[in-house]
Amino acid sequence: MTELKSTSLLSIGECAKRGGVAVSALRFYEERGLITSLRNTGGQRIYPRASLRRIAFVRAAQAVGLSLDEITEALTTLPDSRTPTVADWAKLSANWLPTLDARIAALVALRDNLTSCIGCGCLSLKKCALYNPQDVVALKGNGAQILIAQTKKVNAG
């Protein structure tokens, strides 16, 4: 119920609600350097409205499959000295397109392989996605590894 001001300043609770994240997540993001906050005289966090876009970026980037470390790195390319413009954000987001495309392509390939396997009963064939680990491993390669949670390190041995 805290409106703070009718201006563009938000309390952490308001910011969390509007940003679609938990209050604890905002504190965590700040600790990780993903977002920043100002403080009021009582020491409580206040956020300019522009923070919402930054939060939205973080969430969208997570949906694309980036880790918080990667997102942090991406955010460092934003200007420190001024509020980022639409063009700044667009530039960042454009970087996701190849990743997204790759992720989509990998899933489509898996689906198509499954479909053909199921249709033709070829499950025992080497090229079957179900039988050939390489097909699945390929999904983990450069940029798509998020598809399999906790990818282990590949033992070069």
Partner DNA sequence: TTAAAACCTCAAGTACACTTGAGGCCAAGC
Partner DNA sequence: GCTTGGCCTCAAGTGTACTTGAGGTTTTAA
Q: What is the DSSP string of 37-73?
A: -EE-TTS-EEEETHHHHHHHHHHHHHHHT--HHHHHH
45 contributes a contact to DNA by CB under 7 A: yes
143 contributes a contact to DNA by CB under 7 A: no
**Residue from 86, 87, 94, 149 that binds DNA (CB under 7 A)?**
149
103 contributes a contact to a copy of itself by CB under 8 A: yes
CB of 32 closer than 8 Å to CB of 69: no
150 contributes a contact to DNA by CB under 7 A: yes
36 contributes a contact to DNA by CB under 7 A: no
The residues, any chain, with a CB within 8 Å of residue 75's CB and separated by 6 or more, are: 34, 54, 57, 92
Using CA atoms, how far apart are residues 146 and 62, in angstroms rounded to an integer? 10
34 contributes a contact to a copy of itself by CB under 8 A: no
DSSP annotation of 145 = G
Using CA atoms, how far apart are residues 58 and 48, in angstroms rounded to an integer? 16
11 binds, among a copy of itself, DNA, none (CB under 5 to 8 A by kind): DNA
Number of Cβ atoms within 10 Å of the Cβ of 10: 24
- For DNA, the closer of residues 21 and 74 by Cβ is 21
**Residue from 60, 64, 68, 130 that binds DNA (CB under 7 A)?**
68
Using CA atoms, how far apart are residues 3 and 1, in angstroms rounded to an integer? 6
**Residue tagged 């590949």 (tokens):** 154
**Where on the chain is the footprint of a copy of itself (CB under 8 A)?**
18-22, 25, 52-53, 55-57, 59-60, 62-67, 69-70, 86-87, 89-90, 93-94, 96-97, 100-101, 103-104, 107-108, 110-111, 114-115, 117-118, 121, 123-124, 129-137, 139-140, 142, 145-157
Interface residues with DNA (CB under 7 A) are 1-4, 11-14, 21-25, 27-29, 37, 39-45, 62, 67-69, 146, 148-153
